[in-house]
Amino acid sequence: MNRIVGIDYGRKRIGVAVSDPLRIFASALDTVPSAKIIDYLQKYAQNEVIELFVVGYPLNMNGAPSEAAKDVDAFLPLLRKRFPGIPVELEDERFTSVLAHRAMIDGGMKKSERRDKSSVDKVSAAIILQTYLDKINSKN
């Protein structure tokens, strides 16, 4: 069954999340070094059909792209070039790190585990993807 992949792009690490086949729930999948993300996604695509990429897009409070948006803007052409048949959607990622920390606390994760930034990245990717899924499912 087809999957939607959520991406929380960062200069050092990229959080990856995936939808369930019915596109209802997002699950944190992994955190990957930025330099290895394309290889990681290509390996994932060998076993699963990727229907869509949802990439978190960093915006300021006024809705304008933040400084970090330049990094995402540089990544998007590479993603589209390597996966030309898979569409890419952007999703506002404001507050995802805060929400990720809250989710980890509410889930009972120990403080030492919450300090691991790779955990925050993949949970943030899941929040970005879940936000997108909730939006498309509310339209249906």
The pLDDT value given to residue 62:
87
- Across residues 6-11, what is the average pLDDT? 94
- What is the token pair recorded at 74? 């540089």
Number of domain units in the chain: 1
Are the C-beta atoms of residues 13 and 34 closer than 8 Å to each other?
yes
**Which phi-psi region, left, alpha or beta, contains residue 65 (left: φ > 0; alpha: ψ -120 to 50)?**
beta
Share of the chain above pLDDT 90, in %: 63
**Partners of 52 in the β-ladder:** 4
Helix, strand, coil percentages, rounded to 5, for the chain: 45, 25, 25
Question: Residue 36: helix, strand or coil by DSSP?
Answer: helix
Range of the structural domain that residue 15 is part of = 2-139
Q: CA–CA separation, 37 vs 9, rounded Å? A: 10
- Side chain identity at residue 19, one-letter code: S
pLDDT band, residue 100 (cuts 50/70/90): low
- Residue-wise pLDDT for 38-92, tens only, equals 999 999 999 999 999 999 998 888 888 888 889 999 999 999 999 999 999 999 8
pLDDT of residue 66: 82
109 compared with 31, residue with greater pLDDT = 31
- Kindly report which listed range (7-11, 24-28, 78-82, 113-117) carries the lowest average pLDDT score: 113-117
Give the relative orientation of helices 37-47 and 69-82 as an angle to the nearest 10 degrees.
Answer: 40
CATH number at residue 57: 3.30.420.140
Model pLDDT, residue 120: 76
pLDDT at 49: 95
